[in-house]
Structure 1
Amino acid sequence: MDSQQNSITDLEPVGFWRRALASLVDTFILSLISFSAFLWVYGRMFFVDASIAEQGIFDDFMDYIFPVIAVVAFWSWCSATPGKMLLDMEIVDARTGGKPTLSQWIIRYLGYFVAVLPLGLGILWVAWDKKKQGWHDKMAKTMVVEQDGYDALNRELDIALSKGL
C-alpha cells in the first residue's frame, strides 16, 4: 500500500483459498528453515534419530519461539508474510486501512490459537465472512487485502481456487 492510507472501502479483501495457499508457502519456508537449523545443530544424527531434537532448549526455541518471532517480525516490517507478499496481499487495520500496531500483531497471532480450537472454524470463517476476516482478524481488528500491485494473474488464481482448480 502507498504511504498514503487508502479508504477502507477502497480495499479488496482476499478470500479463503488464496490465504490458504499463502499459509502453505509460509509453512514450507518455516519448515525448511527449521529443518536446516536442526541439521546444523544435530548434524547427520538428525537423519538417524530425529528424537534427539526433542532433548534440548534448541528444540523448544525452534518449535515455539522462532515461529512467533519470524511471523510477527514479517508482519511488523512488511505487513505480510512471504507467502502473502508472493500473492500480493497485505494485512491492514480494519478500521483505518493503515498499518496495524504491534499490539494488533500480537493479538492476531494469539488469535490463531482461538481460531483453530473449534476444529478450525475460526480460520474457515474467512470463506463466509463478508469482509473475509477470520476470528484472529476480528480479534485484532485487521483485514487481509489486495496489495496495490494486485494483477490479472492473481485474479485468475482466485477464480481457479474458488472453483476447486
Structure 2
Amino acid sequence: MAGPPKVHSDGMTQPPQGPGPGEQSENQSWQPPGGAGPSFDKQQQPPPYQGTYGGQEPYGGQSPYGAQDPGWGMPAPGGPGHGQPHPGPALASRWRRLGAAIVDSLLLGVLYNILLVPFPDPVRFETAGSQVRYIWNGTGVLVNLLTIAFGFLYYWLMHARFGQTLGKMLLKTRVVREADGGAISSGTSAWRYGVQILLSLPCGIGSLLDALWILWDPRKQTLHDKVAHTVVVDAVPGRPDPYRNR
C-alpha cells in the first residue's frame, strides 16, 4: 500500500514515489526474511528438460535390463538408492539350476548311448583275484573322446546362440554376462564349459566343488561362472532376452 500523498505549499498533491511499507518493486528480486539465501528473479526461468540425466542416458543405456551394472540383487554402496539393491533381473534359483543340469545330463546320456551302438565293448574288464581292471581298447578311447567333444559342442553352441541349453529352456533360466546382463560371446561360452571339463579331470573333485559353490555364493555362481564372469538369470516371459537378435 502506497504512503499518503505529499501536500505542497501551493495546495497541490504529488503521487507517492516508490513502494510503500511492506511492498515490493516489480523489478526488484525477492529476498527471504533476514536477507539470507539466494534470490529468485521473477524473469528467470529454469532450463528446459533435455531428455537426459546429467548429460547421460537414463541407466547408462547399455544393458537390456535397464541398468549398466545390474548388481544382481547386491547392494550398491553410495550408488542409486544409497545401498538399495540394483534394479537387475532376478537370479535363477539354485533348485532350477539343478533341475536344468539334471535334464541336460539325462538328454546327453541318451545321446551317448545312441552314439555307443556302433561301438560294442569299448571297455574290457579283467579280474585278478579280488582286483578288477578296466582295459580300454582303441574303440573305447575313440568313444570317450567323441562323448567329450559332443558334450562340448552341445554346451558351447547352445549357450553362444541362445544363452540356454534344452534343460535351461525347460526350466526358464539363461546365462548372461555378469557385468551388464548382455549376451555372452562364443569365446566366453567355450571358455565357460572348458573350465568345467578341466575341473572334472582330478577324479571329479573339482566338479563336485564347482557344483557346491553355488550353495554359499551370494550371486549363486558356480566356479565356472566366476571364471567366465557369467550369471544365470530368470528367463520367464516378460524378461528381456539379449539373444533375441542373434
Normalising TM by the smaller chain, what interval? Answer: 0.7 to 0.9
Task: State the Cα RMSD in Å.
Answer: 2.6
Question: Which structure would you say has the larger RCO, counting Cα contacts within 8 Å and 6 or more residues apart?
Answer: 1
1:133-161 CA deviation, whole Å, 9 max, x = no partner? 111101100001000328xxxxxxxxxxx
- Aligned pairs (5 A) from 1:1-165: 5-6=64-65, 7=67, 8=70, 9-39=87-117, 41-42=118-119, 46=120, 49=121, 51=123, 54-56=137-139, 58-112=142-196, 113-114=198-199, 117-118=205-206, 120-149=208-237
Decide whether the 8 Å contact of 1:15 with 1:126 is kept in 2: no
* Residues 69-107 of structure 1 deviation map (CA, whole Å, 9 limit, x = unaligned): 111011111111111110000000010101011221122
| 1:54, distance to aligned residue in structure 2 (A) | 4.9
Structure 1 gap ranges (5+): 151-165
**Where do 5+ consecutive residues of structure 2 fail to align?**
1-62, 71-86, 125-135, 239-246
Which residue identity lines up with residue 128 of structure 1 in the other structure?
W
User: What secondary structure does 2:155 align onto?
Assistant: helix
| Contact 2:192–2:227, Cα closer than 8 Å, also in 1 | yes
In the aligned structure 1, how far is the partner of 2:226 from the partner of 2:186?
16
User: Equivalent residue of 2:123, what SS?
Assistant: helix
Kindly tell me the number of residue pairs found equivalent between the two proteins. Answer: 142
Relative to structure 1, the CA distance from residue 34 to residue 119 in structure 2 (aligned partners, 3 Å threshold; closer, same or farther) is closer
Of Structure 1 and Structure 2, the greater helix share is in: 1
8 Å CA contact retained: 2:199, 2:207: no
Q: Per the alignment, do residues 92 and 119 of structure 1 end up closer, same or farther by CA in structure 2, a change over 3 Å counting?
A: closer
TM-score, structure 2 normalization? 0.52
C-alpha spacing 1:118/1:37, structure 2 compared with 1 (3 Å):
closer
Using the aligned pairs only, state the percent identity: 24
User: Rg larger in 1 or in 2?
Assistant: 2
Q: CA deviation at 1:29?
A: 0.5
Question: Any runs of at least 4 consecutive aligned residues in structure 1 with deviations exceeding 4 A, and if so which?
Answer: none
